[in-house]
Amino acid sequence: MQEELTPEYGPKWPDQRVERMLGALVCMLVGLLLALIVTVFVRGWPSFAHNGLAWFGSGGNVDDQLNAIFLSGQSGAEYIYTFHAWPLIWSTLLITGGAVLISLFSALFVAVFIVEFAPEWMSNVLQPVVRFLASVPSVIYGLLGVLVLVPFIGNDLISEDQKASVAGIISLTGYSLIAGVVVLALMIAPLMVSIFSDGLRSVKPGWLEGSLALGVNRWRTTWKIGVRAARPAIVAGTVLATARAIGEAVMLAMLSGSVGFAPNPADGLIFIFEPSRPLAPTIVKNIDQLSSPPGGATLFSIATVLLFSAAIFSLCGYVARRSMRKYGTA
Amino acid sequence: MEFLSPPPPPIRRLPLEDPPAATEALPLPAPNGNGHAAPGRSGFTAAKRSISAPQFSIRRMEIDKVSVFYGAKEAVKSVSLPVRQGEVLSLIGPSGCGKTTLLRSLNRLTELTSQARLTGRILLDDVDIHQIEPTLLRRRVTMVFQQPNPFPMSVFDNIAYVIREQGSRRMRKKALEPAVHSALDRAGLFEEVKDDLDHPALKLSGGQQQRLCIARALAAEPEVLLLDEPCSALDPKSTQVIEDLIVKLRDDVAVVIVTHNLQQAYRIADHVAFMYLGDLVEYNSATTLFGSPREQRTREYVSGAFG
Amino acid sequence: MEGSVTIPPVPKPVAAPPGSGGSKGAVEGSATWRLADRIGLAICWGLGLLFCALAVAIVLYLLVQGVKYLRPEMLTTPAAAGFTQAESGGFSDALIGTLIVAVMGISLALPLGVATAVWLVEYGRPVALARITESTIEAIAGIPSIVLALFGTVIFSSTALSFLSRSSEGVVFGRSFFAASAMLSLVALPLIVASTREGLNAIPRHVREASYAVGKTKAATTRRILLPTAKPQIATGAMLGLGRIIGDTAIIVVLLGATQNFAPVEDAVFPFNYLRGAGTTLTNFVYEASPTGNLNQPEKAYAAAFVLLLMVLALNAAVDIVHRRARKVGTWSS
């Protein structure tokens, strides 16, 4: 093949040149990520600067504050930055935490089932099902939730008395915490299932066979040895799913309610029916704020918090996996 | 130990002296015309046996005309053998002769392969093992594998894992300590690890790991101990330690060891079964099989004509 | 000299002791486990069946509603103002919009992703840079798409990039197909990198060494031998990335403008007038047509969602076919 060789100078694409080009490309990517982090933080800084740590606290109605911020930007008078995001943060914690807990439990059992205990016909059905559920766009989950689940909750699950009991504060329409948690759990579970089952499959078969040969039954062998050896994969899957859950904007915008309200556990069981709005959907719902400087800063500040939480979760996962290495893993 | 019937009187065996050591390897005797080889000597006897005659032997397991099929292929062809407590039984033969398959069928591990089929009977204390629940059977007949496979936990937890699974209630660590120490002691590992029982098991040396696996197998208080080439992945010094250990154990458990190392079989076995391509060619005491084997194929194998 | 030990006749087997009795010669059944273990297995079955039931329910429900509401003219008519759902046209603009962002997004992501993967696998010096790159790709995978969208607004609103979108009175609008596709390519990038790396790593070392041994450069080896061999994995990655691109809504909502029709830029030449302008995609259309959005036309939402789901299912099936074909061809015997 003569095409790559030029007569005097050797190959037209010498390795050094290619390596440098590819290396430059990769550096550009890294630079892009850094630019993203810096830009989001810098743009959001005014909101943090004006609010200080109270940004994370509660105080006043979040929606009113957002309105005031927007209007102040339009009017050209002194910008207002006052923003206390606690209701949004609380909503994020509740919805993400609830969804990840439910998902973790179900995904672990389903993964164990697929890898070890399901008969062949069942796992041949389950694996495509899991792949399918993972690939459904979030807006379709949102649509089904809004048109099927929300009316069901609003009309059938919540009784009139319950609605009356909190009527002064908030109206229960079915756009609720529980709707968000259930659909979000369904969205992130397939991701966990595939990562968990990959982890379970890569456990050294010698360990499992050794345990069976000692008279331990298959169920306990799978859980005490297999799942234990696959713990790094479980942590990795959970971290990934949590990051996905925190960042989910569109589906939750459609389902969780459009009010910046902090659901109150003191209300008793009703609190799962209360609407709220986590951080990511807040950005989507208030995207018009970008045109006004203080509004834009507020949105970017929320984005900074999102980035930061995803990073912290990854770090926790990394630390957890490091500590698991002491006794050895798969 | 529970006997189903009173133990037979101890069989007094005359201590056998080593057959005269050959100074050079003897050539194979020329085969006679009738195919039945004249009894001759094999050149095997330079090794020294590290095992003395057994004090007693009680029949624990009975293998009765067992054949194992993987799909259409017959891996083990109608083998019958006894397994006795108080002695070491060694299965020898070239690769692919079915000795590992036979071993694995003794604790029903062959059932883990989907296409395995077994005909014939295997009895443990006169009960067909296929009538016993598999996990119960595997606690009475435990196995040590070729590759040491300690679990990814501490040394203590590896042994405690077996003991915990036997009981029906959660046991505290203090309650488990005596049993764990005793198992480690029987495996000859206690002295080396007693200072730090929380040491990760995967960080032990190969020989120590294998002894840990033996300790684990002993912690289940088995009646029969199966060993599948336990020393093939180890260095000679660890091999010697484990061989001494095996000889010590034979009074407590019936030991069946598969090995392709003929010298090892000569060193530690009381009875040897030579298998070839699934058939049991010869079953004899070790000194006889190595010193003056009956079958032509046995003689060829132990003198190294093939393998 | 001892003869072989004769084996005395086998004693008759005693009746099996009580409490035993598992399945005869079969894989260990759960009948003999403790209650807690059996409850666990029941939970496994229950959850597995629940997943299947949910998947079937989703598909069937969308199928029914989609068939009920989807009319062929919806696919060919753009949206229009109207009082009833029948009068307000269809979502052809959305459909074409989805195809546009898909093509543009993947054509950006594929070369970038493959190049990054090749660098990681074949070159990878200095090692620190390789580790940083791996972390970068993982980080990009973990960034919520709404944050990517916000970042996109900053980039594309700069005057340097005003040629990629509309500007009026010196203010760059920053919303266009270019902007959306660029950010969407970041969404697909990690998937392509991961799949390509897997494909390249699966090729054993001796194949590369055989090529170097006849004097080929690394670049030539990669281009002529390694990448063609890794084609199934690259294709899989591309299709997975495509699935994520057409399913993303947040970036579209922010970076494509809030219209339901194409809004081409006036003074540019085709096709750049459309690509620089605003528009919509199926996901955006479903979002707007749902009760949360501005249109509130649930029937159209169902129809569009149905079309979107069909596209996603088709992509999934294609991934499956590629996998099966690759498995039939076989792999290296190393």
Predicted ipTM of the assembly: 0.88
Q: Residue A51 belongs to what H/E stretch?
A: helix A15-51
C window 1-60, beta carbon within 8 A of B: 1-5, 7, 10-14, 16-17, 20-22, 24-28, 32, 34
Interface test with A, best of C27, C47, C185 (most A CBs within 10 A): C47
CA atoms within 13 A on the CB side of C9: 2
Q: Residue C207 belongs to what H/E stretch?
A: helix C205-213
Number of A–B residue contacts, CB under 8 Å: 72
Give per-residue pLDDT as tens, B62-109.
Answer: 999 999 999 888 999 999 999 988 889 999 999 888 899 999 999 899
Q: Are the C-beta atoms of B266 and B243 separated by less than 8 Å? A: no
Q: Which long-range contacts (CB under 8 A, 24 or more apart) does B178-181 make?
A: B179/B219, B180/B156, B180/B219
On the question of pLDDT at A100 being above 90, the answer is yes
Interface test with B, best of A207, A325, A327, A329 (most B CBs within 10 A): A327
How many of the other CB atoms lie within 10 Å of CB of A13? 15
Continuous H helices in chain B: 99-106, 134-140, 155-166, 173-186, 190-193, 206-219, 236-249, 262-268, 286-291, 296-302
Contacts with B161 from chain A: Cβ below 8 Å: 211, 216, 224
Determine what percent of chain C is predicted with pLDDT higher than 70. 85
Question: Residue B70: what are its φ and ψ, rounded to 5°?
Answer: -105, 100
Q: Is A216 on the interface with B (CB under 8 A)?
A: yes
SS3 B194: coil
Chains touching A (at least 3 CB pairs under 8 A) are: B, C
Position A184 scores a pLDDT of: 96
Q: Mean pLDDT over residues B286-307, rounded?
A: 86
Q: What is the mean pLDDT of chain A?
A: 87
> To 5 degrees, how large is the angle CA B280–CA B282–CA B285?
130
Higher pLDDT, C274 or C141: C141
Checking DSSP bridges between strand B127-128 and strand B88-92, what pairing results, if any?
unpaired
Position B33 scores a pLDDT of: 42
Checking DSSP bridges between strand B127-128 and strand B271-276, what pairing results, if any?
unpaired
Q: Mean pLDDT over residues A121-131, rounded?
A: 91
What is the rounded CA–CA span in Å between residue B150 and residue B201? 6
Position B22 scores a pLDDT of: 41
SS3 B167: coil
Distance from CA of B132 to the nearest CA of C (A): 5
Between A99-108, A182-191, A308-317, C44-53, the lowest mean confidence (pLDDT) is in A308-317
C window 47-66, beta carbon within 8 A of A: 47-48, 51-52, 54-55, 58-59, 61-62
Q: Are the C-beta atoms of A116 and A108 separated by less than 8 Å? A: no
Give per-residue pLDDT as tens, C187-237.
Answer: 999 999 999 999 999 899 888 888 888 888 888 888 888 998 899 899 999
What is the rounded CA–CA span in Å between residue B123 and residue A139? 63
SS3 C21: coil
What is the rounded CA–CA span in Å between residue C117 and residue C203? 14
**Amino acid letter, C330:** G
Using pLDDT thresholds of 50, 70 and 90, give the confidence band for residue C243. very high
What is the rounded CA–CA span in Å between residue C316 and residue A127? 12
**Amino acid letter, A280:** A
Q: Mean pLDDT over residues A306-323, rounded?
A: 89
What is the rounded CA–CA span in Å between residue B307 and residue A225? 38
Between B224-233, C66-75, C222-231, C263-272, the lowest mean confidence (pLDDT) is in C263-272
Contacts with B156 from chain A: Cβ below 8 Å: none
Contacts with B64 from chain C: Cβ below 8 Å: 10
Q: Closest by alpha carbon to B1, among B58, B43, B55?
A: B58
Q: Mean pLDDT over residues A13-26, rounded?
A: 88
Contacts with C40 from chain A: Cβ below 8 Å: 109, 219, 223
Distance from CA of A216 to the nearest CA of B (A): 6
On the question of pLDDT at C25 being above 60, the answer is no
Nearest CA in chain A to C61: A144
First vs last Cα of chain C: how many Å apart? 52
Position B255 scores a pLDDT of: 93
SS3 B140: helix
What is the rounded CA–CA span in Å between residue C103 and residue C234? 16
Higher pLDDT, C79 or A218: A218
Using pLDDT thresholds of 50, 70 and 90, give the confidence band for residue B5. low
Higher pLDDT, B172 or A86: A86
Instruction: Name the range with the highest mean pLDDT among A241-255, B54-68, C293-307.
Output: A241-255
On the question of pLDDT at C329 being above 80, the answer is no
> To 5 degrees, how large is the angle CA A89–CA A92–CA A94?
110
Number of B–C residue contacts, CB under 8 Å: 67
Q: Mean pLDDT over residues A67-81, rounded?
A: 79
Give per-residue pLDDT as tens, A250-298.
Answer: 999 998 888 878 887 777 777 888 888 999 999 998 888 888 888 889 9
Checking DSSP bridges between strand B271-276 and strand B279-285, what pairing results, if any?
antiparallel
Give per-residue pLDDT as tens, A167-204.
Answer: 777 778 888 889 999 999 999 999 999 999 999 999 99
Chains touching C (at least 3 CB pairs under 8 A) are: A, B
What is the rounded CA–CA span in Å between residue B225 and residue B107? 10
Q: Closest by alpha carbon to A277, among A145, A139, A88, A141?
A: A88
Query: CB burial class (10 A; 0-12, 13-18, 19+) of residue C291?
Result: middle
Q: Mean pLDDT over residues C58-67, rounded?
A: 91
Using pLDDT thresholds of 50, 70 and 90, give the confidence band for residue A114. very high
Higher pLDDT, A7 or C144: C144
Contacts with C16 from chain B: Cβ below 8 Å: 127-128, 131-132
Position C11 scores a pLDDT of: 44
Q: Residue A242 belongs to what H/E stretch?
A: helix A231-247
Q: Give exposure, B86-100, as e/b (b: 16+ Cβ within 10 Å).
A: bbbbbbbbeeebbbb
User: Measured between alpha carbons, how far is residue A241 from residues A189, A247, A280, C44 in Å?
Assistant: 8, 10, 15, 21
Higher pLDDT, A71 or C171: A71
Distance from CA of A329 to the nearest CA of B (A): 6
**Amino acid letter, C232:** P
What is the rounded CA–CA span in Å between residue C124 and residue C129? 7
SS3 B285: strand
Query: CB burial class (10 A; 0-12, 13-18, 19+) of residue C323?
Result: middle
Position C76 scores a pLDDT of: 79
CB contact under 8 A, A143 and C290: yes
Q: Are the C-beta atoms of C178 and C276 separated by less than 8 Å? A: yes
Q: Are the C-beta atoms of A269 and A157 separated by less than 8 Å? A: no
Using pLDDT thresholds of 50, 70 and 90, give the confidence band for residue B216. very high
Distance from CA of A149 to the nearest CA of B (A): 43
Question: Residue B200: what are its φ and ψ, rounded to 5°?
Answer: -60, 130
Q: Are the C-beta atoms of A226 and A217 separated by less than 8 Å? A: no
Between A75-84, B250-259, B281-290, the lowest mean confidence (pLDDT) is in A75-84
Q: Closest by alpha carbon to B105, among B139, B87, B129?
A: B129
Tell me the two tokens of residue A217.
């039954």
- Distance, CA of A229 to chain centre: 25
On the question of pLDDT at C180 being above 80, the answer is yes
Position B2 scores a pLDDT of: 45
Q: Which long-range contacts (CB under 8 A, 24 or more apart) does A73-79 make?
A: A73/A289, A73/A291, A73/A292, A73/A293, A73/A294, A73/A295, A73/A296, A74/A292, A79/A293, A79/A294
Tell me the two tokens of residue B231.
């020393």
Distance from CA of A96 to the nearest CA of C (A): 14
Q: Residue B101 belongs to what H/E stretch?
A: helix B99-106
On the question of pLDDT at A3 being above 70, the answer is no
CB contact under 8 A, A143 and C312: no
On the question of pLDDT at B46 being above 60, the answer is no
Q: Mean pLDDT over residues B25-54, rounded?
A: 50
Question: Residue C281: what are its φ and ψ, rounded to 5°?
Answer: -130, 175
**DSSP 8-state secondary structure symbol assigned to residue B119:** E
Q: Are the C-beta atoms of B32 and B38 separated by less than 8 Å? A: yes
User: Measured between alpha carbons, how far is residue C164 from residues A276, B130, C94 in Å?
Assistant: 37, 76, 20
What is the rounded CA–CA span in Å between residue C281 and residue C259? 10
Asked whether the CA dihedral B151, B152, B157, B161 is positive or negative, the reply is negative
Q: Is A135 on the interface with B (CB under 8 A)?
A: no
C window 241-280, beta carbon within 8 A of A: 243, 246-250, 253-254
